[in-house]
Each structure stands twice: as structure tokens, then as C-alpha cells.
Structure 1
């Protein structure tokens, strides 16, 4: 009996280690196209690891596959929070190849990119339903947040019972309105920032530690 008890205890300790609260949380960065998700992901990654996650672009749907930066350690108040950042493609109800033609692409390239972007949206939705432990939802504070996509995604996040941090990005723009974002989703706290300029990132990191620190 002693041997069986010891074996059972060893298995229990191993299982506890596998599913420890100390394991990195997979945090998906979601939101509509061109909200600044990759800019934010790169800001976080560079601040804490020195590396970028992926290329930034003004062209819509530049991120067409989920990109992941593992073991990002964020230190706040003497404690370290370890997360895996998942930069996801911008979610939209339709990807039109003509969007790419507006950026001086050949039609064949535009059609290919629109197909890849559509596949990327499906991948982002799969990650949301199956593979993330929390969500950073990024919105462009200079645009209207009352859209079908935003309402749908926030609804899915809530139905999955995932912790979500809403960020009102691009506060460096003249027509930015953080209040507009807050009014759209009053059930969640909204944090203003400019991922491009690095404004208010200290509060963002405090909230990441608070929401996703386990």
C-alpha cells in the first residue's frame, strides 16, 4: 500500500506541475483589422524580450496567420507574470480583394491575400474557441466601435467565460474618443493607450498582470 500511495502522490504532483497556475497563459490579441493589434504585440514583446512578433503595416489584413511569442515575462510590483502572446488576424465578416487593389497590388496578389486573410479569420476564431486563456481586445478609438464584428466577438468571449481586457488604442490621433469605446462595452473596463507611441503602457502592463496573472 505504501508503494501505491507513493506512486499515486508522485502522479498527482506531476499532474499539478503540468497544470500549474505558473504555466504561461495564452493571451490572444483580438479586434478588427487595423486596430493596432500587431503594433501592440510588438510593443509588449520588445519591452520584455527585445524581439518583435511580426511586421506592422497600414495595409489591411497584413496579419493573415496567428503569430505567437512565447514566455513573455512581465514584472509588476515585484511579481512576474508569464504569458504567451498570440497576435491574431483582424476579424471581419468579409474580406474583399478590392481592399488590396487600393494599395497598388496586382489583382492576382490581391485575390491571393484575400483568400489567405479569410483563412486567417477562421484560424483566429478557432483559437478563440479552443486555445486561448484570455483576450486583449484592441479597438481603434478614432472609429465607431458599434459594429457587428465587435459585438459578435465580445459576445463569444463572454460566452467562453474568458477574462477580457479592452484597450482603446490610437489615443495619439486627434479624433480619438476613449469614452466612445467605454460606452460601447460598459460591462468591461476600458484602458486607453497609444501602442505606436507607447503612451500609458505602464497601466496596460498593470492590467495584464491583474487580469491574467492567475
Structure 2
């Protein structure tokens, strides 16, 4: 436990050093489809600017292109951090047009959406490797976090030396299991929240200011 605490402390110090430069920082919101990334992006931008990033939907891959809200100033505990919020498409190994058919979308539109979503995943990976300064990684606290995609993405983030906060979303749901996510990635801090209900957003903003300020 002492080693883990020391590791987290080292990561925090490295984060502060990395972000000593100019503002704003481009913070990418990443994670699998339907984890609540756009809901969280909208919660953050509405709370601090009054504007939304984009539409929210229960349909998978509704966000098929990265969307950006610039100059979002977050003030917490005497600190101020200005970030560009980048809402990215959900990353997955394969986008199947049949996923859209299940939501009463006609085949032609489903095929178009699946093609756009596939291109969006490639765009999200480009942003991760070239254009973000830090990452908010959103996971559905009801779902098993031990997936190939999550392990791959966290590995890429670490290889890029990008500071990352892991948010366990949807704690308002009965089957939410935050500890399962914390156990999956113990080298990073896990913050529980409900982006939909606004639960625990004070801690979310405290952590954003601490990590990215």
C-alpha cells in the first residue's frame, strides 16, 4: 500500500511539472462507447460556460467526430485552470452497423453511421497521440472495466506520459461498482460520479484543478 501511495504521489508531481506551461490545456475525454463522455463534457461546459458540447443519446456512437469547447475556466479552492474540453468518439475495436439497426435506424443510415464512427475512432486516436495535454478517462461503473480496449488505451496514455484521471461514471445506477474500476487501474486515481445527475461534481472539479492546473 505504501508503494502504491508513493507511485500516485510521483504521478501527481510529474503532472504538476508537465502542466507548468501555457494555457489552455487540451483535455481529451476518452473511454468506450456509452460510458457517458458527452454527458460529462456537457455537464462541465454547462456548469462553467452555460453552453453544451453536443447532443447526448442512448444510441451508440452518437459522437462520431471529436468536438471541442474552448476556454472553459474552472475555479476551485483559489485555483483557476483554463481548459479546452475535447469530447471524443467512443473507442472500440469494431463498429458494427447492426448496433444501429437495434435502435430503429434504417440500414442505409446505419451503414453511414458505422462508417463515420470508424473514422471517428481513428480521429480520436490521432488526438490522443498528437493533440491532447491530458486525459479524462470515463468508464461506466456498471460495466466490467477489464477489456482489451480499456487496457490498450490506458497503456497508450501512459506511453505518451499524459496525466490521466479515471472517472467511474453512473454511480446513480444500482449495480455501479466503483471499486472494480479502482482495482483495474490502481496506478491512477479513480473518481466516482454521476454526470447525468451531477453527483460528486465538486470532487470532479477539485481533481481537474489539481491535475490539470
The residue number in structure 1 matching 2:168 is: 168
The residue number in structure 1 matching 2:150 is: 150
1:20 CA displacement: 7.7
1:22 CA displacement: 4.0
The residue number in structure 1 matching 2:116 is: 116
The residue number in structure 2 matching 1:98 is: 98
Q: 3-state SS of the aligned residue for 2:135?
A: strand
The residue number in structure 1 matching 2:40 is: 40
The residue number in structure 2 matching 1:66 is: 66
1:21 CA displacement: 2.6
Cα distance in 2, alignment partners of residues 209 and 23 from structure 1: 13
1:154 CA displacement: 0.1
Unaligned runs of at least 5 residues, structure 1:
1-18
- The structure showing larger relative contact order (alpha-carbon pairs under 8 Å, at least 6 residues apart) is 2
Q: Which runs of 4+ in 1 moved over 2 A?
A: 19-22
Q: 3-state SS of the aligned residue for 1:93?
A: coil
Cα distance in 1, alignment partners of residues 143 and 23 from structure 2: 36
Residue-pair matches, total = 195
Q: 3-state SS of the aligned residue for 2:203?
A: helix
Q: 3-state SS of the aligned residue for 2:63?
A: coil
1:69 CA displacement: 0.2
Cα distance in 2, alignment partners of residues 30 and 43 from structure 1: 15
TM-score with structure 1 length normalisation?
A: 0.90
Unaligned runs of at least 5 residues, structure 2:
1-18
Cα distance in 2, alignment partners of residues 62 and 210 from structure 1: 31
Structure 1 or 2, whichever has the larger Rg, is 1
Q: 3-state SS of the aligned residue for 1:75?
A: strand
The residue number in structure 2 matching 1:180 is: 180
